[in-house]
Structure 1
Amino acid sequence: MAFQGKKLINNPNDVVTEFIEGLVETYPGLQYLDGFPEVKVVIRADVLGATYDKVAVISGGGSGHEPAHAGFVGEGMLTASICGDVFASPPVDSILAGIRAVTGPMGCLLIVTNYTGDRLNFGLAAEQARSEGYKIETVIVGDDCALPPPRGIAGRRGLAGTILVNKVAGAAAAAGLSLADVASEAKCASEMVGTMGVALSVCTLPGQVTSDRLGPGKMELGLGIHGEAGAAVADLQPVDVVVSHALKQILSPETNYVPITRGNRVVLMINGLGATPVMELMIAAGKTVPKLQLEFGLAVERVYTGSFMTSLDMAGFSITIMKADQTLLQRLDAPTKAPNWPVGSAGNRPPAKIPVPLPPSRSMKSEESLSRPLQLSERGRILEVAIEAAANAVIDMRDSLNDWDSKVGDGDCGSTMYRGATAILDDMKKYYPLNDAAETVNEIGSSVRRAMGGTSGVLYTIFCKAAYARLKANLNATVTAKQWAEALEAAIDAVSKYGGASAGYRTLLDALIPALAVLKERLSAGADPTTAFVVSSEAALEGAESTKDMQAQAGRSSYVSVGILSTVPDPGAMAAAVWYRAAALAVKDKYQAS
C-alpha cells in the first residue's frame, strides 16, 4: 500500500535551492551563483573565471544524489557543480553559467554521467561555450555493470564511479596539466571503472508517494540511482552473497565491463545509497576486500567507504572497482578541500588485524604462574567448583535476564552476563592458578574485562580488582571465610564508589549488600562458614526480589516508570544473587562430599 513519504522539507519545489543555501553556509569555501530558481550552480569561492590559471573541472546532474556533485567542489577536485532539480538533468543555461563563472584561459573539462538528458544538455552547453571562445572538453562516465551490453544508444549508466573520475581529473587539473592531458586522464579513468548496486527499498521523491514496488523480504539488484527498477528482484540475502554477486558481475570476463584481470591493482568504493547505516557499509567493505584479494587475485590499494552518490532515502549500497596504476593512485591521494571527499589511506596498507595484547597481569607473569596447576589443592578444587557453578548459573539465566531487561533496560543483560560467564569457564581451563585464590579472582576480572561490554562489564571488573587487592594484602596464602567477607566488602565499596549507586538504587548492590550483612553477622556469631555463605545467599535472593518495590536511581531503568519497574526485579541484582547462591551451594556440597 502506497503512502506519503515523510520529509523534513518546506515546499517540495524548493528543496534543491534550500539545500544549496545550507551547503554554502556550512562550507565557507563554496559559493553559489545568484540565479535562483533557474540557475543552481555551486562554485569554488576562490576561483574567478577570467583569471583562473588552471583547467576548470565541472560536473553535475540531477539532485537527490547528495553529496554528489556539489559536495565534491573544492580545490583539488571540482571547480563547479551544476545542480538540476531532483533526478532531472540541469538546464543548458545553468551549465553555461557555471562554465562562464569558473573557466579561464586553460579551458574547462565537463564530466558527464551517461544519461540521455545529461548528455544532451551538457553537450549543447559545450557547443555554445565553444562558440563563445571557451576551450571545452567532455568526458562521459558510464560505469554501470548491471545490464549486459550492448545497451543500444543509451549505453551504460553513470553511477558512483563518476566520483573517482572527478577526483582524478581534479587532481590532474590542480597539478597544472593542460586541458588535453586532464581530459585524457579522466577518460582513461572512466574506462577503468565498474559499479554494481543493490537496493533494499525504493526512494521517495519530495512531496510524492512512496512506491511499494519492492515488497518485504526482497532486494533489487542492478538498479540505477533514480528509483528506476533494477535488473532483477531477489530474496534478501546475507551481505556475503550480495557482495559475491556484485563482484562477479563487475569482473566477469564474459561481459568485459572493465579491463581488470588477476594481479591488477584496484581501488574499491563502497557507496551508501542514502539510508544505509555506516555499520552495514563497513560490513560490506570488510567482506569485499578479502574476496577481491583471495577469489579474484587483485591487490586492493585503496578503500573508500561512505555515501558518495546516493538516491535520496534509498536503502542499499553499490560497489565500485577501478583499475589503478601509480599515476591514478597519486591523483586519488592528492590533497583536496572538497568537503565530502574522504581521507583515504595512502601508501602501503598495514595488516588489517593484529593479535590482541595480553593483559598486563598475564603478560608480566611467567607461563607457569598463568597456567592451570597440574595438581589442585583441596582449596583449589573448592574454588573451581564454586566458579563453575556460578558461571553455569548465569548461563542458564540468560533468557530470563534478557526478558526482564527488555522491560526495564536495553534487553541485553543476560547476553552480557552470558559472555562473561562463558569467558570465565574458557579461561579457567588455561589461565586460572586455582591454588592461589587472590590471583584467580584477578584473572576472573581480566576475563570479564575482555568479554563483557557495557556498564556491567566495567562494574564487575572493578568488583574483581578490588576483591583481588584486598585478598592480596593477606600475608597468609590461605584465605579464610572472614577474609572472603572482607574482600566482598571491598568489592562492594569500590562498585559503589565508582558506579555511584548504594542500597535502594535498584542495582546489583541490592543483592550483594544484604548478603554481606548476613555473612558478617553469621561469621561473627561463630557459625559454620559454609552455612554462613548459604544463608547469606538467601539474603541476596531476597534483596534482588525486593528491587521490584524500588524506584531506579541508576542506569537505563531510571528512565522507566514505576508501574513497569514493579513487574520485574532488577536483572543485574538477580544475576548477582544467582551466581552468589550457586557458588555458596556448590562450596557447601563440596565440603559435605569430602
Structure 2
Amino acid sequence: MKKLVNSPRAVVREMLEGFVALAPGQALLEEETVVVRADTPADAGQRKVAVISGGGSGHEPAHAGYVGAGMLDAAVAGDVFTSPSTDAVLAAIRAVAGPAGALLVVKNYTGDRLNFGLAAELARAEGIPVETVVVADDVALHDTVEPARRRGIAGTVLVHKVAGALAASGAPLAEVARQAAAAAAALGTMGVALGPCTVPAAGRPGFTLGEDELELGLGIHGEQGVRRVPMQPADALVDTLLTTIVEDRRINSGDRVVLLVNGLGGTPPMELAIVTRRALAVLRGAGVRVERAWSGTFLSALEMPGCSLSLLKVDDARLAWLDAATTAPAWPGAGRVAEQRAPRTVSVAQAKPVEAGEARPGMDHFKKAVLAVATALDVAESRLTALDSAAGDGDLGISLVRGAEAIRALPESSWTSPSRALTAMGGALRRAIGGSSGPFYATALLRAARRLSEGKTDAAAWAEAFSLAVDAVSELGGARPGDRTMLDALKPAADAFAGAVKAGQSPADAWAACVREAEQGADATSRMQPRLGRASYLGERALGVPDAGAAAVVVWLKALTPYIQ
C-alpha cells in the first residue's frame, strides 16, 4: 500500500500542522498533539464549559475538524488507531478549561476510557471540574456484548454537536453532561466495509476480503466486522443496517430522527448519495420523520471503503442544538432535507408526429439484423470495458449495453422503414448513452436516415448513407483516420463497402470486404499514438492496446454480416 507520508512516526504531528494551517480558528499545542480553539480566553475565569474529545488518528476529519465555536474546544490525537496519552488529554483540559469545568466525550474503547478517565482525575485534583460521557453507539454488537460495552463509532460526532451547542449557550457542566449522555443513549450506528485499510506503521491491510465479500458491523479501527456476508446491492445493505438500528433503538412510526450517512474514508460521494437515497426512502416508508440528514465522511477509518449509518432520536430542544451555529470546519452544515416530491417534468414543444404508415417489405429482416447487433454488444461488454479501461475511462462496454437495451425497447411503429428506424435508433442512443459514444452514433444514424429518406434503399444508397454517417462522426468530433479513434475502423470500412458496391460486387461480398478493412483498422490502432480523446492523455502508454471504440465498430459490423443479402 502506497501512502503520502514522510515517516510513520511523524504522521500525526504533520497531519495536524496541515489541518491547523488551513483553519484560522484553531491552534496546535507546542508539546502535544492537541488542537484547541484559537480564541480560547487566556483568563481561565472567562471560559465557559469546555467540550473535549479525541482518540486515535486515522479518523479524519474527526476529531480536529470539529474544533470550533459551538462544538469542541479541544481535540486530542493519538497515534493511528491508538488512544492519546493521559498527559496529552490533561494538557488539553488545562489549555481550554477553567472554573466552569470540562466535559470529555469519549468513545467506548478501553484505551480511551483509561487515558481520558485518568486525565479527568488528575484535572479534578487540580481543581478543574470534569465530567465524562462515554459513547457506545455500535448496535452491531447487540447480540455480542451488553450495551455498556459496545464500541463508540461515527455517531459520536452528533454528541459533539449537542454538547458543544449547549456549552456555547452558557449551560452549566452538569446540564451539558446530562444532555450529552442522553443523546448518546438515543443514538445507534452500524457500518459495513467493502475492504480493509492499512495502518502506515503496519504497511499491510488489517484483513483480507474476497471480491464477493463484505464485512458487516465493523468498528473504526480497521478490524473485522461481526460477520462476513456476500456482496449485495446497496439497497439491501442499507435495509440490513437500518433494520438493526431501528429495532435496537426502538424507533417507531412517528418518531423524529436525524440521519448521518458516514463514509469510512474510501467511499466516493456517488455511493454515499445512493445509500442516502435508500435510507431516506426506507425511513419515510416506515413513518419515521427524518428532521435532518447529512452525507459525507465525518469519522473515517483511513482509506477503508464502506459506510456507516447513524440515527439519533430528537425532540425540539435536541434539534435546536444540532441546528445551532458552529465554526468547526468539518461540521457539514444545516442538514435540511428536501420535501419528498416527484421528479419534475420538462415541457418541450413537440413537432407534429409523422405517421408510421405500413411497414415496407424487408423490415422484419432489418429489425432482426439490428437486434442481432444489440445481442453482440451485450456479449462484447466485458471485452470492450477492459479495452476502454486500459486507455480510457472504462465506460464504453456498459454504455453500449444501455444502447442495446434502448434499441430493444423501441416501439413496433419504429420499424416501418429504414429511415424511420435509423431515426428512432439515433434518438434512443442519444438518450441512453452518455459520454461521447451517444452523440457520435446518434449523429451518424440521423445523417444516414436523411439520405435513405430520399428514395431508393438499394446497396448503392446504403453505401452512400454509410459514408455520410462516417463523415458526420468526423465532423462532430474533429477526428481523422490515424488519430486512434473509432474512425480508424469506420472510414476504411465505409470506403471498402462503397468501392466494392460501385465495382459491381454483391452486397454480401462488399460487406465482407467492409468487415475485413474494419478489423485491420481496429488492429492498427494498437500501434497508433493517440491524438484525441482520453487516450491522448496517456501518450505512448496507450500503445499495444486497440482502441475500444474501433473494436466496438468491428463488433456490430460483424453482427450484421449474416443479414446482408
Q: Same fold (TM over 0.5)?
A: yes
Per-residue CA deviation, residues 353-400 of structure 1 (Å, 9 max, x unaligned), is 626758x5xx6145xx27x73x4153xx55664354134234225434
How far does residue 34 in structure 1 lie from its aligned partner after superposition? 0.9
Aligned to 1:311: 301
Contact 1:274 1:313 in 2 (8 A): yes
| Alignment map for 1:268-417 (pairs within 5 Å) | 268-294=259-285, 296-343=286-333, 345-351=335-341, 354=343, 360=348, 364-366=350-352, 369=353, 373=356, 375-378=357-360, 381-382=361-362, 385-400=365-380, 402-403=382-383, 406-407=386-387, 409=391, 413-417=396-400
How far does residue 450 in structure 1 lie from its aligned partner after superposition? 1.6
How far does residue 457 in structure 1 lie from its aligned partner after superposition? 1.8
Query: Residues of 2 paired with 1:224 and 1:504: CA distance?
Result: 54
Equivalent residue letter for 1:459 = F
| Alignment map for 1:42-441 (pairs within 5 Å) | 42-50=35-43, 54-103=48-97, 107-130=101-124, 132-148=126-142, 155-208=149-202, 210=204, 216=210, 219-227=214-222, 230=225, 232-238=226-232, 239-252=234-247, 257-294=248-285, 296-343=286-333, 345-351=335-341, 354=343, 360=348, 364-366=350-352, 369=353, 373=356, 375-378=357-360, 381-382=361-362, 385-400=365-380, 402-403=382-383, 406-407=386-387, 409=391, 413-429=396-412, 432=414, 434=416, 437=419, 440-441=421-422
**Range with bigger deviation, 206-215 or 92-101:** 206-215
How far does residue 406 in structure 1 lie from its aligned partner after superposition? 2.9
Aligned to 2:426: 445
Contact 2:363 2:418 in 1 (8 A): no
| Alignment map for 1:423-502 (pairs within 5 Å) | 423-429=406-412, 432=414, 434=416, 437=419, 440-467=421-448, 478=455, 488-502=466-480
Per-residue CA deviation, residues 151-204 of structure 1 (Å, 9 max, x unaligned), is 579633221111111122223344554545443432322121012233455544
Query: Residues of 1 paired with 2:293 and 2:246: CA distance?
Result: 17
Contact 1:218 1:233 in 2 (8 A): no
Q: Secondary structure at the match of 2:399?
A: helix
| Alignment map for 1:544-563 (pairs within 5 Å) | 544-547=518-521, 548-550=523-525, 551-552=527-528, 553=530, 554-555=532-533, 559=538
Contact 1:402 1:413 in 2 (8 A): no
Contact 1:269 1:319 in 2 (8 A): yes
Aligned to 1:577: 557
Query: Residues of 2 paired with 1:12 and 1:464: CA distance?
Result: 58
Structure 1 282/523 Cα, relative in aligned 2: closer, same or farther at 3 Å? same
Query: Residues of 1 paired with 2:486 and 2:203: CA distance?
Result: 50
Query: Residues of 2 paired with 1:336 and 1:433: CA distance?
Result: 62
How far does residue 420 in structure 1 lie from its aligned partner after superposition? 1.3
Equivalent residue letter for 1:112 = V
Structure 1 460/197 Cα, relative in aligned 2: closer, same or farther at 3 Å? same
Query: Residues of 2 paired with 1:201 and 1:396: CA distance?
Result: 34
Query: Residues of 1 paired with 2:205 and 2:172: CA distance?
Result: 47
Per-residue CA deviation, residues 9-58 of structure 1 (Å, 9 max, x unaligned), is 333332211221122223333221111xxx21112233335376654322
Contact 1:390 1:580 in 2 (8 A): yes
Structure 1 181/283 Cα, relative in aligned 2: closer, same or farther at 3 Å? same
Query: Residues of 2 paired with 1:237 and 1:98: CA distance?
Result: 43
Contact 1:60 1:69 in 2 (8 A): yes
1:41 aligns with 2:34: yes
Q: Secondary structure at the match of 1:312?
A: coil
Per-residue CA deviation, residues 296-325 of structure 1 (Å, 9 max, x unaligned), is 442333333333222334444332211123
How far does residue 346 in structure 1 lie from its aligned partner after superposition? 0.9
Contact 1:511 1:576 in 2 (8 A): no
Aligned to 1:15: 11
Contact 2:535 2:542 in 1 (8 A): no
Query: Residues of 2 paired with 1:573 and 1:29: CA distance?
Result: 58
How far does residue 580 in structure 1 lie from its aligned partner after superposition? 6.6
Per-residue CA deviation, residues 442-495 of structure 1 (Å, 9 max, x unaligned), is 432221022123322231123235556x55xx9x87566687666555543332
Query: Residues of 2 paired with 1:334 and 1:510: CA distance?
Result: 61
Per-residue CA deviation, residues 540-564 of structure 1 (Å, 9 max, x unaligned), is 3132022123543344666577973
How far does residue 264 in structure 1 lie from its aligned partner after superposition? 1.0
Structure 1 114/383 Cα, relative in aligned 2: closer, same or farther at 3 Å? same
Aligned to 2:26: 30
Query: Residues of 2 paired with 1:195 and 1:421: CA distance?
Result: 42
Aligned to 1:592: none
| Alignment map for 1:513-592 (pairs within 5 Å) | 513-514=491-492, 516-517=494-495, 537-547=511-521, 548-550=523-525, 551-552=527-528, 553=530, 554-555=532-533, 559=538, 564-565=544-545, 570-575=550-555, 577-578=557-558, 585=564
Contact 1:545 1:569 in 2 (8 A): no
Equivalent residue letter for 1:509 = L
Query: Residues of 2 paired with 1:297 and 1:98: CA distance?
Result: 43
Structure 1 539/557 Cα, relative in aligned 2: closer, same or farther at 3 Å? farther
Per-residue CA deviation, residues 565-590 of structure 1 (Å, 9 max, x unaligned), is 5799931331453467577x2xxx5x
Contact 1:388 1:425 in 2 (8 A): no
Equivalent residue letter for 1:396 = A
Structure 1 151/133 Cα, relative in aligned 2: closer, same or farther at 3 Å? same
Contact 1:446 1:461 in 2 (8 A): yes
Equivalent residue letter for 1:40 = T
What are structure 2's unaligned runs of at least 5 residues? none
Structure 1 304/60 Cα, relative in aligned 2: closer, same or farther at 3 Å? same
Structure 1 566/166 Cα, relative in aligned 2: closer, same or farther at 3 Å? closer
Equivalent residue letter for 2:81 = F
> TM-score, normalised on structure 1?
0.78
Structure 1 279/135 Cα, relative in aligned 2: closer, same or farther at 3 Å? same
**Range with bigger deviation, 262-271 or 193-202:** 193-202
Contact 1:394 1:575 in 2 (8 A): no
Equivalent residue letter for 1:500 = G
**Range with bigger deviation, 271-280 or 514-523:** 514-523
Structure 1 486/356 Cα, relative in aligned 2: closer, same or farther at 3 Å? farther
